[in-house]
Copies of this chain bind each other. A is one copy, B any other.
């Protein structure tokens, strides 16, 4: 650990170490907390890593407690990193009405350009640049072997960051992602609030639009519960499927009968996603 990183907790778990760490982020101008699971490994080995981006209202805690990823990561030799979903703190601007779907807990993995959010809400820079540099300096990761996944808003984040930074992530998957944010209420509010009213700019942060506009990844795994209360209005995986089909991107879209939007759904299919990533990072 270098001096930039404060250890909040460290526990032996599932044949590895589950840590939680805090640091002062230059990107967001706030303290930021994240969790890292490192499986036991031979000294000197560098391991592939999977980034997990959480959904609206979440922090690193939700998946760290409920995600059921550690056993699979230990078996597959994967490091698992869960950042927070937004800057937090006294001075950080929030949704004016305190809504759950904008501001605190709802960073949407973009660098905001609109006042008053542009100073702190720089989650794309944080997740793709600042935090990786900190991780490389402190954990035994092989930066040539990074995958990314996430849930809901974090599924949107995983898809868009993989499409925008294809040299950085070699594998991508998502759980019930907001697949076309420019066309749904959650996304219209968030992208409008962080990026302003020009919908052309939103297309750079919308997985479906990015693919329509030429961005490419090798393949995508998406799991989606068919009893998810947000499916029809907010998630719209059929729009992503159409864009992938037109672009020739192999999309494995699995509609899971009876499953909803909760961590009961995520934990059920977590091991499948980690195996997907491990197969592409080995």
A residues in contact (CB < 8 Å) with B = 11-15, 18, 65-66, 68, 70-71, 225, 227, 258-260, 262-265, 267-268, 271
Residues of B within 8 Å of A14, CB to CB, are 264, 267-268
Additional 13 contacts, C-beta under 8 A, given A12-B258, A12-B259: A11-B264, A12-B225, A12-B264, A13-B259, A13-B264, A13-B267, A13-B268, A65-B66, A65-B263, A66-B66, A68-B71, A68-B267, A71-B271
Please give the distance in Å from A58's CB to the nearest CB on chain B: 14
**Nearest residue, chain B, Cβ from A11:** B264
Contact call B68/A12, Cβ cutoff below 8 A: no
**Nearest residue, chain B, Cβ from A268:** B14
Contact of A12 among B65, B66, B227 (CB under 8 A): B227
Residues of B within 8 Å of A11, CB to CB, are 260, 262, 264-265
Cross-chain pairs A/B with CB under 8 angstroms, 13 sampled: A11-B262, A11-B264, A11-B265, A12-B227, A13-B259, A13-B264, A13-B265, A13-B267, A14-B264, A14-B267, A68-B267, A70-B268, A71-B271
